[in-house]
Every structure is written in structure tokens, then in C-alpha cells.
Amino acid sequence: MKKYFPTILDYFLIILAALIQALSLRLFFIPANLASGGVSGISQLINHFTGWPIGFMILLGNIPLFVLGWRFLGGHRFALRTAVAIFMLSALTDLLVQTPLFAPGGAGTRLINDLRGDIFLSALYGAVVSGIGYGLVYRARGTSGGSDVLARILNHYRGVPMATSYLLVDTAVILVAGFVFGWKAALYAMIALYVSGLVAESTLEGGGTVRSAIIVTSEAEAISARILEELERGATILEGTGAYTGAGRPVLYCVITRAEVATLKAIVQEVDSRAFMVIGVAHEALGEGFRPLKT
């Protein structure tokens, strides 16, 4: 049973993500006429002209993208996870409106009425909620179909960040929606798209942003000793060569938290004021002293 737990957890996250995404559509995007991009946005446009169920249109629109994802994103494993995500999102999008949540006087209906006319808050809340849903799907190593498939392909094969991928694959749908719902709604939909991508990245990678430091110094051992003692962090001494002089020189590498940056700077300045140091941002640190290394 223990070996199946990660897989069970993945599918639980996928179903939870589908529910969150469906809520973002029904509570925020659809009432405010904000095209959410991708297949969901196209489905909103079709529903506007035909009245066809949005969830059902999401299901139909995902079929060709599902085939594309099968080819590029992992075959059977991708297929099963994504099929569950697409089906649950499609079903929940149409079924939620039949629940007491959206009945007259229900909590969902009251929220929609409270936000009616405030397109900014609808866009902001919708972006945050949908972004969490997208991030959970990615953490479960799946997609919710639609533009997620194209975003994952761009991210996996081209290294394009998720936020950028969303912009690339969804902007066209939002621009088309501008002709239908108006350009004010399209502008807010663009903002929502960008924010949801950032939230998705944060949900996927975690909020524990750390700092990586590279220090070129002749006092690598002394600095590393103080890092071990004062910061209780590990450090690695690498062998480097000066490009101009050709002389060998040690290079110190360590990973710290944002709160420890000032202390590290003070240590380096006190030990070797002639040292050269670069501090960069790392999205995640896994291993001893940070988060456990696990998939």
C-alpha cells in the first residue's frame, strides 16, 4: 500500500485541482465575462453565442490537445492523469451550477452578486484561485488539458517558464474575446492570466525561495569555516582559474536563506575584503538543511 500512496496522492491533487479550477470559472471568470484563455476561454465564447454547456465544450476542445500531449508528455502516464483532470474539470464546471452552492441564496450566488460590476476583484480572485489549481495539477505531474498541454511542452522541451508559456498560448484567445466581451474585459483577462501563471509557479515550486552565493576568494577555508560555525550551512570549495592571469584560485559555493544574506556579506567582508561575490536567486533548495529531496 505504501508504494501506491504517491500515485493515490497525485490523483487526489488532480481532482482537487479540477474542483478549484471549476470554482474559479463559475465564481469569477464566467460571471464577469473574463475569458480565462485556452480551451476554457474558447468554450466561454461558444457558450456566449450558442448557449452550449461550457464544461461539455471543454471536453470536446481538449480531444486534439490530448492526442498531442500523449505524443510529447509521457504516453500512458500522461494520458491517464490528464484524462482524469479533463473529465473532472468538464464535469464539475457543468455540475457545480446544479449544487446548493449556486442556488438562490447560496454562498456562491451571494459571492457572485457581491462581485457583480467589480471586474478587477473578479479577475484578481479568479487568477489566484485558478493559479492554485494549475499549480496543484503540475505538482501531481499531470495537466488539466487545454493550453496546459502546450505550456508543459514549451516548459519541458524549451525551458520556457510557466508564466511565459501561459502568455504565449493564451493571449490569442483573450484577444479574440476582446471583440466579443469588450477590450476592458480583455485587459483584465490578460492581467488575470499573468497573475495565475505566477501563482501556478509558486504553487508548483513552493514559496521557499533561497539564495545561492559564489565567492571568489583567497581565503576560502577561513570563510567556509565561519559559514559552518555562524550560519550552520554547508559550503563547497571549487577549483577555479583566472581567465586573465591563468592563476588558480578557489571558488566557494553555498546556499542560504534570504535572511542570512546580510550575515554572509559581513563574514566575507571581514575575512577577505578583496573577495568577489555573486548572490543569485534559486527557486528551490533540496537536501540537508532545506526541504527533503523527493519527487
Burial of 144 (0-12, 13-18, 19+ CB in 10 A): buried
Residue predicted with more confidence, 65 or 43:
43
Residue 291 has pLDDT above 80, yes or no: no
- Regarding whether 88 and 9 lie in a shared domain, the answer is yes
- Regarding whether 219 and 174 lie in a shared domain, the answer is no
Residue predicted with more confidence, 198 or 3:
198
- Please give the span between the terminal C-alpha atoms of the chain, in angstroms, as a whole number: 18
The answer to whether residue 288 is domain-embedded is: no
- Regarding whether 224 and 97 lie in a shared domain, the answer is no
The answer to whether residue 290 is domain-embedded is: no
Residue 234 has pLDDT above 90, yes or no: no
- Regarding whether 255 and 237 lie in a shared domain, the answer is yes
Q: What is the pTM of this model?
A: 0.75
- Regarding whether 220 and 199 lie in a shared domain, the answer is no
The answer to whether residue 221 is domain-embedded is: yes
Picking from 176, 205, 234, the residue at the C-terminal end of a domain is 205
**Among the ranges given (60-74, 219-233, 238-252), the one the predictor scored with the smallest mean pLDDT:** 60-74
* Mean pLDDT rounded to a whole number for the chain: 85
CA angle 278/279/282 to nearest 5° reads 135
- Regarding whether 146 and 97 lie in a shared domain, the answer is yes
Largest CA distance in the chain: 78
**Among the ranges given (37-51, 137-151, 270-284), the one the predictor scored with the smallest mean pLDDT:** 137-151
CB 185 within 8 A of CB 177: yes
Domain count of the fold of the chain:
2
Q: Kindly state the average pLDDT of the residues 193-219.
A: 82
Distances 218 to 93, 158, 223, 272 between C-alpha atoms, Å: 62, 39, 10, 8
- Regarding whether 149 and 90 lie in a shared domain, the answer is yes
- Regarding whether 250 and 163 lie in a shared domain, the answer is no
% of the chain residues with pLDDT over 90: 41
Give the pLDDT score at 60: 93
Locate the DSSP E strands across the chain: 210-216, 236-241, 248-256, 276-282
- Regarding whether 146 and 271 lie in a shared domain, the answer is no
The answer to whether residue 53 is domain-embedded is: yes
- Regarding whether 220 and 198 lie in a shared domain, the answer is no
Q: Which domain holds residue 248?
A: 210-282
Give the pLDDT score at 71: 74
As a residue count, the chain comes to 295
- Regarding whether 241 and 260 lie in a shared domain, the answer is yes
The answer to whether residue 214 is domain-embedded is: yes
Picking from 174, 205, 236, the residue at the C-terminal end of a domain is 205
Picking from 142, 175, 205, the residue at the C-terminal end of a domain is 205
Report the CATH number that the domain containing residue 264 is assigned in CATH. Answer: 3.30.70.120
- Regarding whether 218 and 132 lie in a shared domain, the answer is no
| pLDDT tens profile 152-180 | 677 767 777 766 766 677 888 888 888 88
Distances 180 to 118, 154, 171, 215 between C-alpha atoms, Å: 19, 29, 15, 55
